[in-house]
Chains A and B, each alone.
Chain A
Amino acid sequence: MPRRDDIHSILIIGSGPIIIGQACEFDYSGTQACKALREEGYRVILVNSNPATIMTDPEIADRTYIEPITWQAIEKIIVKERPDAVLPTLGGQTGLNAAIDLHEHGVLKKYGVQLLGAQIDVIRRAEDRQLFKDAMLEIGLDLPKSRVVRSLDEAMAALEDIGLPCILRPSFTMGGTGGGIAFNREEFREIAQLGIDLSPVHETLVEESVLGWKEYEVEVMRDHADNCVIVCTIENFDPMGVHTGDSITVAPIQTLTDREYQRMRDAAFACIRKIGVETGGSNIQFATDPKTGRMIVIEMNPRVSRSSALASKATGFPIAKIAAKLAVGYTLDEIGNDITRKTPACFEPSIDYVVVKIPRFAFEKFPDADSTLGSQMKSVGEAMAIGRTFKEALQKALRSTEEGRQGLGLDKKDLLARGGTIPRDELIGKLARPNSERIRWIRYAMKCGMSRDEIQRHTSIDPWFLVQLEQLVETEDELRAYSGIADVPTPLLRRAKREGFADAQFAYLFREDPMDVRAERIRRGVLPTYKLVDTCAAEFEAATPYYYSTWEDECEARVSDKKKIMILGSGPNRIGQGVEFDYCCCHAAFALRDAGFETIMVNSNPETVSTDYDTSDLLFFEPLTLEDVLNIHDRLKPWGTIVQFGGQTPLKLAQGLENAGVRIIGTSPHSIDLAEDREEFAKILDQVGLRQSPNGMASSLDDALNVTRRIGYPVLVRPSYVLGGRGMRICYDDQSIEQYVKSGVEIGEDRPVLLDRFLEDAIEVDVDAVSDGDRVVVAAVMEHIEEAGVHSGDSQCSIPPSTLSREMQAEIRRATVDLALALKVLGLMNVQYAIQKGVLYVLEVNPRASRTVPYVSKAIGHPIAKIAARVMAGATLDELGFIAAHVPVHNSVKGPVFPFNKFRGVDTVLGPEMQSTGEVMGIDADLGVAFAKSLMAAGVKMPYGGGTVFLSVRDSDKPTAVHIGRELVRLGYRIVSTHGTRNALLESGVDCDAVNKVQAGRPNVLDLLTDKKIDLIINTPSGRGPRTDEGRIRAAAVQHGIPCITTLSGAAAAIHAIERIRARGFDVKALQDYFVAPVG
């Protein structure tokens, strides 16, 4: 069947902000879909609220709406654009939920818009637990025993039938939000209630436990003609009980016989046909009982998913692109395989390597969160690695997570690298409780003599995987017999490299310099080879240069004589380093390719657009370590290497690369260091006449206390070289400084901590600029809505600034230009300023791409990362025609999105440590409306129509709170407060009802929250933590989905937003209409 001619325009729904369970994989899939459909001549309309995406670049779709993904906003888009069809299956759960909302509100019918990919009944059958169960039973597939419940009473009744332990899964929540495993009645009751509350349809599934069973996923594609193929199979290293997003996973399946696998394949096809997914990709999860082979279906996603991104990168088969083409009528046999260019896409990839994915967690950001892994996803990112064997891929993946590990062991975090032993009880505890470090504990257990059988009993991990780890430990033990790398016989060295051991692991073991190990290894001729990911296990020649390293006989890298630029990516997503940096890396690749360079991308994150094989000329799916990058450099000899676009990941490598003779283009590593070096930086500020808040550096506690005596409290303290405010605190006295240093922060001569006098009640400002060394263009000045002290990544901000005077803006621009020239910046620079009582202070300068680059690019209509990349490769801003960025007349508000709902009970107060996982953007001519849009996009359900506000603030905020209260009353809201705030309000004549504090009798404020009698919380913290009353209130707000604002500046902005929305409602406008000339 050829493409459909009855439809001409298609609306694609994106997935919105990055959240746990829904990351940049949907930027990858959405971008592919947009490109594929435009290639076919359709007019593509896109809605996505996340500016940090390639898909929202204005040249990707015909019409790009950076608007909230709500049915109301989408209806407005539909009215304007009148698309023939909506494609919701490439925007994750968000896309599907939006499709259901549009259907339920009659929007699709009203405007005659068809759904492509999956119809409403299909989405329902796959997502509704009971409908799914019924469908599976009808086709004879086995499932765990289960019952759907809609109340706690029903849940308790179901428990009698199903027994403990059991799994609870709320319907229609993302990444398993609100689900869990209950081992006792108490836990059961708690999780069941939570699930019922969080589920938008207020139901949850109670299910027989299949803990410890083997877990599998298959990625299926189906076309209109009912052709079905399996693109990739995945086996979880962690057995059932750990969410697949939090599991170490392996492709292809390793421990099933062909008969067992083919049975699973048959079941997967039966499932996709029964559910009725007409076209596109689906992900189906199975579990098998390792003792009997009994196979059950766990769930299916009738859409492109996180696993499909992984499957695409693992096999080279572009699932999203093909899914888009299938959606418009093509059949699989009509679509070509881009990699072989000779064979059709209707086949099942065969792979001749092993792929390992390892999740990356952020528990350090949420110390109060429970770090046990369960059925609710908690990881924030993932790294993938490719090796010829599981052992090699595993060690590469472990070092790709960039958590200071070099592989399975033999690094500074290895508890047993220098010998020693760990008590049995501790080992058993760590093995039995699934946690993010469990694989380390398996190794420790092996090193402490625990048998494979016993480890298997505690973990239920398949013995085949355990044997692989055993072999790594054996190799390690063999290496220990030698005293230095020079003594290790070449065959053993080669074997260890083939098992994925890094030069740095040898170096740690032998207490040598990794560069010396590297030199010795090269002298012995033990060199990496590069092999192709080609979808077909070498059966056909591959046209696309998508490589991974391994240690084999034959190297397939084709090296041209074109001038090459290597771009180092940003590795796995983490809080503070997310899709924004991938965006910058992609832009560098696009711009430099257009400028005639051959671009080389190096990255380890399978969710990204940068690891799409057509983003760059050559793709190396590799860990971002000095060794791995130098190895690529040795082979390809690029003319230049870019380290300033991938966040901290490549920056950490910059010095090492330069020392090894790599030509870093753009701002020199020396200049980058200068900005980090307190003393040198102070000199530069002096030189350009700028002020800094008093500060110092300390390499010990005494040092730190001395510095604070000089600069005075409050003090902002943090480690050097971090992103996302890791380990940042505001301290008000000596005691809190002591606590901070003793809390395990790395401190020492080479790891100093930085101390700054904290500027209270200051306005914070971010600036992004591009410099070619002679000319500096300030791209945008962003004014934060929250005061200084809230991490810039967590604060809301606006372009243009909302309150800064013209004079102050001019001063900021001048200061930025001076700084860029003084620091000899070549490329991007970000400066953070604070303005206190009209005085401008420089907080920090980062001569590199910042988190705000995509937001700024979209707000001002200039692709500043592309411009910067060209500048780094030698062009001048004059040549590029970028000599000034006009301040836009419309308002662009950036808002953060937090993962609090994944970490039950954690406090939600904002501070200097970044906690948000993603961001949204609201654009409008009116600032208040832009702000309201950003709230809508972030899923904050503000009570625009009126309601009850719980207002409770710390003493110092009371004067401002009175003003806020007065505004609320004026807008018709009822205010409830506890004693202190209430008195302050009443004294100033603001009407306010009383409510009991948590400890002071029922009903108290928590009861009101539970009963949904409060619609908005404004609570500024006087204390922090899940055990404080206010902490419990804030956590309860998250649980019940009630918006909770923790700063008064945020509250004031929210009230402004409410007022504007009430006055004018909101309209939508395509990005293309904000700028006369096309952006890009």
Chain B
Amino acid sequence: MRRVRPPAMLALEDGSVFHGESVGADGESGGEVVFNTSLSGYQEILTDPSYKGQIVTMTATQIGNYGISRQDDEAEKPWVEGFIVREMSPIASNFRSDEALDHFLARTGVVAIEGIDTRAVTRKLREKGALRGVVSTTATDAATLVDRARTLPPMEGRDLVLEVTRRREQRWTQSTSKVEFLPELGHTGRIYDLVVVDYGAKWNILRNLTSVGFKVTVVPATTTADTILAKKPHAVFLSNGPGDPAAMTYAHKLAAGLLGKLPVLGICLGHQILGHAFGGKTFKLAFGHHGGNHPVMDLRTRKVEITAQNHGFAVDPELFERGEVEWTHKNLNDGSVEGMAHRKLPVMSVQYHPEAAPGPHDSLYLFREFRAVLDRAYG
């Protein structure tokens, strides 16, 4: 028989309240509510450290169908603050599945709610921008919950990286070839030493970097440029991560300290940090880009990639007026900056997620492209 699920509530700062049923951990959790339009890949989303501080609404309605497979994790645990779905699957149906999703959420402490009109939530976020919200299995009074949502800190100005970054240096060895169903990039020639600054790096970035021939050393976010340079790596990678890039002055400093000294690749937050290091600005998007269907044009080739995206801030294109940095990738939906490259230095970055996980593989070439930059620099 159908499990009777305890009631749960979602309250938003604009005063709206949604009633549903609990499909995760008991308790209460707050954050910025965002929606993700990916049709598959809820596990990768849940475990993506960039979602620290955010409650994720899935616009796809049937969630949990194929359960959870340890292999598909993007971090050792889920990072979302809460999870909102229309309907949770009662079983996990997949030969690789290790665990049902509701069980996983309960076990790992994620407050989750089902039965919600997720389209209504999404439309609200689209119209009003991302809103602070609270999901709760314990609250009984809606008004109190709305008040709690209003007292949450706003995302702007918030540094969340320190909560997700690794505490100590670590060697990463897994490549995509070791993981089921991932395309293998491969490489010929030498192996380069790469330092990855961990702002909340997704594992699939590390796997792909390993696959194209990097020996990957992951260091904490607060590592200084001097410490990194002292290791004499061939290149540095600035990872994805949560929060407001403008708030992370230590990271701007680190990036600026690397420019002109080493090739640098940035993805997502790493790209935004490079934006600041180049002297540019970042701003908050109304409701961000979270999904796996965003068209991005490579302005150099005019080719369009369908990309995986997860960001709430963007680099201000004003930066390109100065001419040092080239605008390489543009979002075709809203014209926002999706990638850039320094005209003289071997420094490049993209806002979106070439590593996918979840999402399309159209942009995997960027890892090869970065390797080619090194082949030119050191070849």
Residues of A within 8 A of B (CB): 225-227, 229, 233, 252-263, 265-266, 290-293, 331-333, 342-344, 346-354, 388-390, 462-464, 467, 471, 474, 531, 536-541, 552-554, 556
Contact = CB atoms under 8 A, between A and B. Distances in A.
Interface residues on B, range: 35 or more
Contacts of B185: none
Contacts of A541: 126
Given A354-B61, A553-B120, A554-B119, A266 B183 contact: yes
Interface centre among B72, B122, B359, B360 (most CB of A within 10 A): B360
Interface in B270-296: 291-295
Contact of B39 (A253, A464, A539): A253
A229 B361 CA distance: 12
Contact of A257 (B2, B72, B332): B72
B93 A554 contact: no
A350 B89 CA distance: 20
B72 A259 contact: yes
A352 B120 CA distance: 11
A351 B59 CA distance: 8
15 contacts: A257-B96, A258-B41, A259-B72, A260-B181, A263-B183, A343-B332, A348-B292, A352-B37, A352-B86, A467-B93, A537-B60, A538-B35, A538-B123, A539-B291, A554-B119
Contacts, number: 177
Interface stretch (B139-147, B186-194, B297-305): B297-305
Nearest to B87: A389
Contacts of A290: 95
Contacts of A389: 61-62, 86-87
Contacts of B60: 252, 350-352, 537
B62 A390 contact: yes
Contacts of A292: 95
Contacts of B177: none
Given A252-B39, A347-B293, A352-B122, 10 more contacts: A259-B179, A290-B95, A333-B295, A343-B332, A344-B295, A388-B86, A390-B62, A467-B89, A531-B119, A552-B117
Contacts of B198: none
A554 B86 CA distance: 13
Given A350-B38, A537-B60, A464 B117 contact: no
Most chain B beta-carbon contacts within 10 A, residue among A227, A262, A556: A262
Contact of B61 (A265, A293, A352, A554): A352
B44 interface: yes
A556 B127 CA distance: 14
Contacts of B43: 257-258
B40 interface: yes
B72 A552 contact: no
A255 B333 contact: no
A113 to B, nearest CB: 30
Interface of A is mostly: loop
B303 A464 contact: no
Interface in B196-255: none
Contacts of A256: 40, 66, 94
A425 to B, nearest CB: 28
A258 B304 contact: no
Contact of B59 (A255, A266, A352, A471): A352
A449 B93 CA distance: 21
B263 interface: no
Interface in B285-330: 291-295, 297, 302-304, 306
Interface string B38-60: 11110110000000000000011
Given A257-B66, A259-B181, A352-B122, A265 B361 contact: yes
B306 A348 contact: yes
A464 B93 contact: yes
B306 A347 contact: yes
Given A258-B40, A350-B39, A354-B62, A474 B293 contact: no
A263 B332 CA distance: 25
Contacts of B119: 352, 388, 531, 537-538, 552, 554
B112 to A, nearest CB: 17
A467 B361 contact: no
A225 B305 CA distance: 12
B135 interface: no
A976 to B, nearest CB: 61
B31 interface: no
Given A262-B356, A333-B304, A291 B95 contact: yes
Interface of B: 1-2, 18, 35, 37-41, 43-44, 59-62, 65-66, 69, 72, 86-87, 89-91, 93-96, 117-120, 122-123, 126, 179-183, 291-295, 297, 302-304, 306, 332-333, 356-361
Nearest to B204: A259
Nearest to B16: A553
Given A389-B61, A467-B90, A538 B126 contact: yes
Which of A333, A352, A552 is most buried by chain B, counting CB atoms within 10 A of its CB?
A: A352
A225 B333 CA distance: 19
B66 A554 contact: no
A474 B4 CA distance: 12
Contacts of B179: 259
A255 B183 contact: no
A258 B303 contact: no
B117 A255 contact: no
Contacts of A257: 40-41, 43, 66, 69, 72, 94, 96, 181
A255 B65 contact: yes
A354 B183 CA distance: 29
A541 B94 CA distance: 35
A263 B306 CA distance: 15
Contacts of A346: 295, 304, 332
Nearest to B89: A464
A553 B43 CA distance: 27
A25 B292 CA distance: 29
Nearest to B91: A467
Nearest to B122: A538
A353 B361 contact: no
A540 B333 contact: yes
A267 to B, nearest CB: 10
A458 to B, nearest CB: 17
Interface-centre pick from A266, A332, A350 (highest chain B CB count, 10 A): A350
A798 B2 CA distance: 62
B122 A258 contact: no
B361 A266 contact: yes
Contact of B304 (A227, A351, A538): A227
Contacts of A227: 303-304
B2 A474 contact: yes
Q: 3 smallest A-B Cβ distances: which pairs?
A: A258-B41, A258-B358, A554-B120
A252 B37 CA distance: 13
A540 B37 CA distance: 11
B181 A332 contact: no
Contact of B1 (A293, A474, A554): A474
B18 A553 contact: yes
A706 B304 CA distance: 76
A701 B123 CA distance: 61
B361 A332 contact: no
Given A333-B332, A462-B93, A259 B118 contact: no
A536 B61 CA distance: 13
Contact of A464 (B18, B65, B126): B65
A348 to B, nearest CB: 4
Given A262-B356, A347-B333, A293 B96 contact: yes
A351 B120 contact: no
Question: Residue among A464, A537, A541 with the most chain B CB within 10 A?
Answer: A537
Contact of A262 (B2, B304, B360): B360
A531 B117 CA distance: 11
Contacts of B91: 463-464, 467
Contacts of A347: 293-295, 306, 332-333
A231 to B, nearest CB: 11
A348 B60 CA distance: 14
A540 B333 CA distance: 9
